[in-house]
Amino acid sequence: MRGKFISKVVRFTQVIHIDRTSRKLYNLYKRLLFVQLIHYHNFKKNKLKLIVGSSSTHQRGWIATEQSWLDISKSYDWDRYFRPEQVDAILAEHVFEHIDFDDLHNSIENVFRYLRPGAYIRIAVPDGNHPSDTYINHVKPGGTGDGSNDHKVLYTYNTLSAQFTRAGFIVTLIEYYDEYGIFHKRKWSAADGFIERSLEFDKRNYSGINKYSSIIIDATKPEVINISLI
């Protein structure tokens, strides 16, 4: 009996080892593909548009990345692939709520440095002003929703906007609830960065009730930089 148990443990350990090795090889493949895509975009002189934090996301004309090879809080990761002011657009859907305050400043600073003047980052995060208690319990740090165990902060439109305004960005509010539970929405184009967890595109809202939406903002790097903010 003991021998059979040990044999099962050994086989299980081998499977785990193979799985980890496969994952490392897959991540290496994805990173090399990412580098080739950057070179291709540079060669074709295409706009360089990045999706951060989700290599499984696919949008035409955008290059998807993963934290394992592009951690937006780490300047040396950016330096490895890009020149300052090289990037034309960045999309971060439900990424910033996973970044703690210690890394938040570095992340925003890196984004500002590598975006060209006039370029933007589109950000979506869970909405701390959403009037539904079920929603709030789903998305709050340590909540009931998928991934909420890794959520570090629950933003409102004011607290999220302030972080980017302070760094020198010009912020445009796209979708959000205000502190009175009133929903605000301005017209936006999915071609400029598709957000699935939005009023229009989240399948949970197809009944006509806003069960799940996000704070969505565009933070644009000014054409002329205010030196006092750097």
Structure token digits, residue 142: 């340590």
Q: What's residue 9's pLDDT?
A: 33
**What percentage of the chain reaches a pLDDT higher than 90?**
69
Q: What's residue 25's pLDDT?
A: 75
Domain coordinates in residue numbering, the chain: 1-45, 47-229
Is residue 133 exposed (0-12), middle (13-18) or buried (19+ Cβ within 10 Å)?
exposed
Q: What's residue 16's pLDDT?
A: 44
Structure token digits, residue 134: 């079920």
Q: What's residue 44's pLDDT?
A: 56
At 68, the pLDDT band (50, 70, 90 cuts) reads confident
At 2, the pLDDT band (50, 70, 90 cuts) reads very low
Query: Each residue of 72-131: pLDDT tens digit?
Result: 999 999 999 999 999 999 999 999 999 998 899 999 999 999 999 999 999 999 999 999
Structural contact between residues 54 and 100, judged by C-beta atoms closer than 8 angstroms: no
Residue with tokens 């869970």: 126
Q: Is the pLDDT of residue 194 over 60?
A: yes
Structural contact between residues 136 and 126, judged by C-beta atoms closer than 8 angstroms: no
Q: The CATH number of 47-229 is which of 2.40.10, 2.60.40, 3.10.580, 3.40.50? A: 3.40.50
**Which position has the higher pLDDT, 187 or 18?**
187
Is residue 119 exposed (0-12), middle (13-18) or buried (19+ Cβ within 10 Å)?
buried
